[in-house]
């Protein structure tokens, strides 16, 4: 991943993401991964998670958000994907578990590198099902509440994103549920509160 999307060497940006991420992870009912947070240079207002709890935040997202609450909302959403094991399920659907398992053998290191490049370029890691996206929203909302961030952070980020999408289409949004649906569901959670995520 790092070879495909070099990490940003900026301690202030990295520390901001790391601090928010750690504060959110502390609220998880179960911690099956060693969550790690990185910043990569990419102009799109996005972030993504890979199997094992590694999260990557784009510089474009950090430039786009209006507050730490909005940034925390997106990071919490990505933690939700990792917590619910959506990245590995996604890769398994795309390439098959047997093939992925074979890449862990030492003699297949070059194949693993080639697949990683393909995964990054194709955006497979950001193509979740509608149910996965809504589940990550629920988990993210719960984490925002528990961590003391403004729980509307993710919703206001989505609303801001929705305003620019018609005039400047954002490719990754085409693989997500409609933004108005996500906003409506988050508004309902703000009224009702989010239940604790299920144990893995």
> Residues with catalytic annotation?
78
Spatial strand order of the sheet with 36-40 comes to 36-40, 54-58, 47-50
- The end-to-end CA distance of the chain, in Å, is 26
CA dihedral 57, 59, 64, 66 (to 10 degrees): 70
DSSP one-letter code for 146: H
The tokens for 130 are 């509608």
* Category of 148 on φ-ψ map: left (φ > 0), alpha (ψ -120 to 50) or beta: left
* Dist CA 52 CA 112 (whole Å): 16
DSSP one-letter code for 22: H
Asked if 76 and 22 touch (Cβ cutoff 8 Å), the reply is no
Any idea which residue has 């996206």 for tokens? 133
Strands (E), the chain: 36-40, 47-50, 54-58
């Amino acid at each position: 991943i790092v070879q495909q999307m070099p990490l940003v060497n900026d301690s202030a940006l990295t520390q901001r993401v790391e601090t928010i991420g750690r504060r959110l992870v502390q609220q998880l009912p179960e911690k099956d991964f060693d969550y790690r947070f990185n910043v990569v240079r990419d102009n799109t207002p996005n972030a993504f998670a890979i199997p094992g709890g590694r999260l990557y935040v784009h510089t474009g997202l950090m430039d786009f958000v209006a507050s730490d609450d909005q940034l925390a909302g997106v990071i919490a959403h990505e933690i939700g994907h990792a917590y619910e094991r959506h990245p590995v399920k996604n890769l398994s659907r795309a390439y098959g578990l047997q093939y992925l398992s074979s890449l862990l053998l030492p003699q297949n290191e070059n194949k693993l590198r080639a697949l990683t490049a393909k995964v990054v370029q194709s955006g497979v890691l950001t193509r979740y099902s509608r149910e996965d996206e809504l589940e990550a929203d629920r988990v993210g909302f719960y984490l925002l509440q528990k961590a003391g961030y403004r729980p509307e952070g993710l919703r206001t980020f989505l609303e801001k994103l929705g305003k620019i999408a018609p005039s400047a289409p954002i490719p990754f949004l085409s693989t997500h549920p409609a933004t108005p649906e996500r906003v409506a569901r988050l508004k309902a959670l703000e009224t009702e509160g989010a239940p604790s995520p299920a144990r893995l």
